[in-house]
Structure 1
Amino acid sequence: MSPESQASEALPSRRRRAPRGGRHRGDESFLLPPGSPTLVLAVPGPARRAGAEPALELARLVEIEHTGQPARVAYLEGDEANLHTVLAGLHHDPDELAAVVVPMSTGPDPAMDAALRHAVAAAPANAVAAEPLGPHPLIAEALHDRLADAGLARADRIRLMTMVTAASGVIIATPGDATAVRQAEVTGVLLASRLAAPVFTASLNDDASVKAAAEQLRAAGATSIALAPHLIGPEPDAARVASAAATVGCPHSAPLGP
């Protein structure tokens, strides 16, 4: 994390349930009561842009996990499945909440957040805008998985602890402004505990920020650095991942995906 800032945001509360086996074991509970509002995943950009598949896959997974729970995908740009159109098409009762709109982003994005709030305020149905998906322990787990997929971290664990990592330091590169960087630091702390390696956070939109994070890692003794993109995949910023990694001469993992 950046030495001049500290993240103060609290992590979401968690509820225990029986542990699952396999790679995706965890203790998160996502049980939804019958008749819950429609879940709308709000994706930046238009529907036809390449990279929108993670939102469609997430919507499918929600409906599989929660039989009868509707999940829709809407886009903040373009005419096809536009967020305004999707919200206008929902059944609305003035006394009931019709939809919860979740931005497909890992942290605050002023432009995206403003567009989402505008659409929710203009909707004929009662709808609320949710917070971004991060910071959250599952984001840290997904970052670890992507690093392992790229051969940049060991996924082996002893009593759920990672003992060895292929990279001796990691840069979490997040889109957005300084607020997004500070929030991503919470996820950075969680990832560092999983990897037993230092993790610093930088802005994906600022090469100087990425270079500063790399210098801090090297000063901390890291001899091999990896860049982990703190984004889901449909964001326009995904195109900057390769160039950001090239700026400091390090490999990178893939975006988080569904």
Structure 2
Amino acid sequence: MSSSSDAASPLPARTPGLPTRVPQPRQGGRHRRPDSHELPEAAKPLILAVPGPANGELLALVGEVALLAGADLPGLDIRPVVIEEDGTDLAAVLHGAPAAVVVPLLLGPNAAATARTDAALAAAEGEFQRCGVLGPHPLLAEVLHERLSEAGLARADRARLFSVATAAEGIVLVTDGGPEAVAAAEVTGVLLAARLALPVMTADLGDPKTVVAAAERLREMGAGSIALAPHILGPDVEAGRIAEVAEQAGCTAAGPIGAHTAVARLILHKYLEACGR
């Protein structure tokens, strides 16, 4: 059986002792978690479900996200699985566990991926609780800001009045998954616009015409340089797609969200919410 939950709220602080390759948490911030959560008693496994097809980069990303989440909540049984189009044996993933919480590794709505996941759950024996997608959420706007700053397209700190020579004057937030995903990403776009004090337009990466139109609209509003902010994980889209669409729209592209502590926090939030915590 399955159910869905989409509520979002700030999460508790990360615990110490992460591997050196895992980014260390920054202190402060409006959306930082004030306290640590403990692992619920008799905790169910967390199935981290990501839509396929599987490839090396996708598997590496899922593994790193699972590592980050596990570092935040030590002892949690996290089982990453790629949901393939030709079916996935979730019973094998459960390894005899009678129940599990399924958290889709999806930033926003994706009807095809959700249907594929639900079909896999229906075909497996066990009690499953499927959570909703991770966004929209302020933490995703924070990551997008970070990726833009890493590319030199935005100030890293809004409180410091220093300039970035290549800073953009307008942002096109692109997502994948169709009109429903674009509509949901608009909420994150509003949060990003508030962080940057810049206009943000949302467009569909799968329809380059919408990206070009959004960039032109920003130029009509007076923005001289436009940056593309990918509201995607990265390996879930065709290699080179972001750069290709950015070139068509005359934009400079930041990096995708990728494996990030904020994504891990949202996954744990969904899991703990499903556990009644």
TM-score range for the pair, normalised by the shorter chain length = 0.7 to 0.9
1:13 is matched with 9
Find out whether 1:64 has 2:71 as its counterpart.
yes
Find out whether 1:189 has 2:193 as its counterpart.
no
Taking the aligned partners of 1:221 and 1:36, their CA distance within structure 2 comes to: 53
Structure 1, 215-224 or 238-247: larger mean CA deviation: 238-247
Taking the aligned partners of 1:196 and 1:83, their CA distance within structure 2 comes to: 47
Deviation at 1:12, TM superposition (A): 2.1
1:171 is matched with 172
Structure-2 change in CA distance of 1:245 and 1:127 (3 Å): same
Q: Number of residue pairs matched?
A: 240
Amino acid in the other structure paired with 1:172: L
Correspondent of 1:27 among 21, 27, 32: 32
Task: Tell me if the contact between 1:88 and 1:123 (Cα under 8 Å) persists in the aligned partners.
Answer: no
Taking the aligned partners of 1:33 and 1:115, their CA distance within structure 2 comes to: 29
Given the two structures, how large is their TM-score scaled by the length of structure 2?
0.77
Given the two structures, how large is their TM-score scaled by the length of structure 1?
0.83
Amino acid in the other structure paired with 1:27: R
Taking the aligned partners of 1:37 and 1:173, their CA distance within structure 2 comes to: 35
Q: Specify every segment of 5 or more residues in structure 1 that has no aligned partner in the other structure, as ranges.
A: 1-9, 93-97
Find out whether 1:41 has 2:48 as its counterpart.
yes
For 1:221-251, what per-residue CA distance to the aligned partner results, in whole angstroms no more than 9, with x for missing partners? Answer: 1111000111112313564211110111111
Structure-2 change in CA distance of 1:238 and 1:11 (3 Å): farther
Structure-2 change in CA distance of 1:40 and 1:178 (3 Å): same
Q: Which has the higher contact order (CA 8 A, sep 6+)?
A: 2
Taking the aligned partners of 2:239 and 2:175, their CA distance within structure 1 comes to: 10
Task: Tell me if the contact between 1:35 and 1:69 (Cα under 8 Å) persists in the aligned partners.
Answer: no
Task: Tell me if the contact between 2:170 and 2:227 (Cα under 8 Å) persists in the aligned partners.
Answer: yes
Q: Secondary structure at the match of 1:173?
A: strand
Deviation at 1:105, TM superposition (A): 1.6
Deviation at 1:253, TM superposition (A): 0.9
Structure 1 consecutive aligned stretches of length 4 or more whose deviation exceeds 3 Å: 13-18, 23-26, 46-49, 85-88, 161-165
Q: Specify every segment of 5 or more residues in structure 2 that has no aligned partner in the other structure, as ranges.
A: 1-5, 15-23, 260-277
